[in-house]
Structure 1
């Protein structure tokens, strides 16, 4: 009876279990024939070529994905910058050349900065001297810089606006208890192209209602605005930079102080361990137990003598008159006698 046996390589060979000899098996075995080896070599070459093509395609796709991710990262960075500026209370138009300032773009590659010509420098100084800055001592609740710009730009051309956010502790407390995550500002500065317009506007709008639409939440709020003479925007930036450096210096001093305290504490702990080890070694030499045995404290109190609460009539004040002199008795009797 003949059966089809499956060998280790997964090939089916037609052979009889008992009747077929070893020589016949070698003749009929086609696993190592020339035609089969040639077919295998061709198939291996095709598979290698396919694998190379797949690797090249994968590399191309990886390059494309890297380019896309880089472009997405650039877009995300630009959006993050805009959000940070809005959160910090800074707002400015794209073109600030009329205000004596140049717009700075983020450039990754280092480029040479061209020096200004004398004509451009003179124009820049004139534009800067012509500008005026107004101070807002109070900002209505949750009013953003864009809203301030929309309210003031109808009176004159506005350059940069900077509003100071409220204290972080106050913001955290408000977010915790009221669940209000809006940004609130306390004070601000507004730059105008013409200082004469800025001065007139400050005198006109100060202590007047903001107005606008009656449905607006800022309709009944008051303007608290003041013109700052001989004050330019670079003075504000210098003051902010100075405050930032002072804050960083205070932070560095606090960190250094905490490091010193931590170092002294560690030194004291190490010194205490060293003294404890010395004491244990001394006890070992003397034959005493290394760990001190805790003894119960027994307090002794002196016992008072027995006190007799009963009053002796002889010692009491009832018989005191008998022991007194007769003359003294007469005097006391005349004083306390009933008349």
Structure 2
């Protein structure tokens, strides 16, 4: 019986070892398959990236040529466009309303309206007026120069019109065609004005900071002087109470403030220039010996 039990135990042990080995093999196969799939995915991604980055020279040349063509087309179209200048924008008119009114005369590309001064806007709001954004002047770009010239000649000085209920019925057009003027000139001018404004603001802020620092330094000096004077007074009181002479060092004494005022010197030129009579002549006239 003992021999049989030993044989059974050996067989069960061998079966367990075989199962473990099979499990290890399966796990290794699964791990290798997953790793291989990940490696293949990474390789595919790298190839796609390389293909996207490393384009052939022909494709690059074609892209450059297309860009040049687009730029040339835009430049040619910009030369054909015309710009009109509006010296006055009616109250409560915005770019959308201006486009609606002027688009009936021709195709409009771009519109730029300069906002009013913020100080004037604040004053108007405080006075109970219109609380929205208003504009002072503007530029309108038409797709054709001939249309821009025609609009400027036809509308300058005329009534805006429309329905009588509209807010712009009684306002007049102040419009002028700008010859040899491009939209790039406008953008450059706006950028230049903004840069100047920023420089002025920076200078004003620096000057204000200097004034503030100087004022604070003076305040600190005055506080220090007042504290010194108070201490000197306290010491003098203590010495007077004790009957001692107040002999303080010159450094501890209160600083004397000497103020100098400009003085005008007397003019003696008038007295010197006056002729004076001698004593002999006066004695002969009055008979004084």
TM-score interval, smaller chain: 0.5 to 0.7
C-alpha deviation, 1:210, in angstroms: 1.8
1:137 and 2:71 correspond: no
Give the deviation of 1:117 after TM superposition: 2.6
**Structure-2 change in CA distance of 1:288 and 1:241 (3 Å):** farther
Q: Report the alpha carbon displacement of residue 217 of structure 1 after superposing the two structures with TM.
A: 2.9
Pairing 1:135-214 to 2, within 5 Å after superposition: 135-214=85-164
Give the TM-score taking structure 1 as reference length.
0.48
Offset of 1:199 from its aligned partner?
Answer: 1.4
Residue 215 to residue 263, structure 1, CA distance change in 2 (3 Å):
closer
Task: For residue 202 of structure 1, report the CA deviation from its aligned partner.
Answer: 0.7
**Off by >6 Å, runs of 4+ in structure 1:** none
Deviation at 1:150, TM superposition (A): 0.8
Is the 1:207–1:222 contact (alpha carbons within 8 Å) kept by the matching residues of 2?
yes
* 1:122 paired to 2:69: no
Distance 1:206 1:266, change over 3 A: same
The one-character-per-residue Cα deviations of 1:19-47 (angstroms, maximum 9, x if unpaired) are xxxxxxxxxxxxxxxxxxxxxxxxxxxxx
* 1:72-87 paired onto structure 2 within 5 Å: none
Matched residues in 1 for 2:239 and 2:125: separation? Answer: 60
Deviation, structure 1 residue 118: 2.3
Structure 1: give runs of 5+ residues left out of the alignment.
Answer: 1-113, 291-339
* Contact preservation (8 Å) 1:163, 1:189: yes
Q: CA deviation at 1:191?
A: 0.7
Q: Among 245, 257, 260, which residue is 2:210 paired with?
A: 260
Aligned counterpart in structure 2 of residue 239 of structure 1, from 177, 180, 189: 189
In 2, the alpha carbon distance for the partners of 1:215 and 1:188 equals 24
Separation in 1, partners of 2:212, 2:178: 48
SS at match of 1:119: helix
| Residue in structure 2 matching 1:221, options 171, 176, 180 | 171
Matches within 5 A, 1:83-94: none
Give the TM-score, by structure 2 length: 0.56
TM-superposition CA deviations, 1:207-258 (whole Å, max 9, x none): 1122223432322322110011111111111111111111111111111111
- Distance in 1 (alpha carbons) for counterparts of 2:239 and 2:224: 18
User: Deviation string for 1:83-118 (max 9, x for gaps)?
Assistant: xxxxxxxxxxxxxxxxxxxxxxxxxxxxxxx89632
- Counterpart Cα distance in 2 of 1:275 and 1:123: 76
Distance 1:289 1:132 in 2: 92
RMSD: 2.5
Query: Cα offset for 1:144?
Result: 1.7
| Alpha-carbon distance in structure 1 between the residues aligned to 2:68 and 2:201 | 43
Q: How many residues align?
A: 178
Q: Using the TM superposition, give the Cα deviation of residue 177 of structure 1 relative to its aligned residue in structure 2, in angstroms.
A: 2.2
Distance 1:232 1:275, change over 3 A: same
Q: Kindly tell me: are residues 206 and 276 of structure 1, through their superposed partners in 2, closer, same or farther at Cα, counting changes over 3 Å? A: same
CA, structure 1 residues 289+224, in 2 after alignment: closer, same or farther (shift >3 Å)? farther
| Whole-Å separation in 1 of the counterparts to 2:227 and 2:170 | 76
**1:228/1:179 Cα in 2 relative to 1: closer, same or farther (>3 Å)?**
closer
Q: How far 1:283 moved relative to its partner?
A: 4.3
Q: 1:212 to 1:252 in 2, by over 3 A?
A: same
C-alpha distance in 1 between matches for 2:118 and 2:223:
43
